[in-house]
Copies of this chain bind each other. A is one copy, B any other.
């Protein structure tokens, strides 16, 4: 991502200053083109700026989240994943074996939201579908493992 665009992003918000760390982190999040954890982001950032701290990564992830630039997701793990907020909402399909994360969309989620708003008088602000299973390749392989554990 061009520096100019990052600046544009951040400049829209009053009182938020543009620092080298923020530009770096935003650039890396853009490059990740998908989901990245705080630790991965930190590791990548250190390669470019040896003195950046994990605290700065967390603080800025929190800031970007509050500014509505990124979203935070949990995929069963203890740690979170972060991704740029897309215009179009999408859902996640995760392989228990190889960890591949596939994004997909479905108009049915809108139907579900409507049903729930109707039935429970709820004002739904966020809808997430999380599907887990085995992808084609892992399903065929013999030596399946689930996040490091053998499942023979």
* Chain A residues within CB distance 8 Å of chain B: 74, 76, 93, 95-96, 102, 104, 106, 108-109, 111-113, 115-116, 119-136, 139
Contacts and interface: CB of A to CB of B under 8 A. Distances in A.
Given A76-B74, A112-B129, A123 B104 contact: no
Please give me the 10 A-B residue pairs with the lowest Cβ-Cβ distance, nearest first.
Answer: A121-B136, A124-B133, A126-B132, A125-B133, A128-B130, A123-B134, A123-B133, A108-B108, A123-B139, A74-B74
Contact of A135 (B115, B120, B132): B120
A122 to B, nearest CB: 5
A112 B92 CA distance: 12
B102 A106 contact: no
Contact of A131 (B126, B130, B131, B135): B126
Given A106-B115, A116-B104, A120-B93, A128 B125 contact: no
Contacts of A115: 106, 108
A68 B8 CA distance: 50
B131 A116 contact: yes
Nearest to A126: B132
Nearest to A104: B116
A58 to B, nearest CB: 13
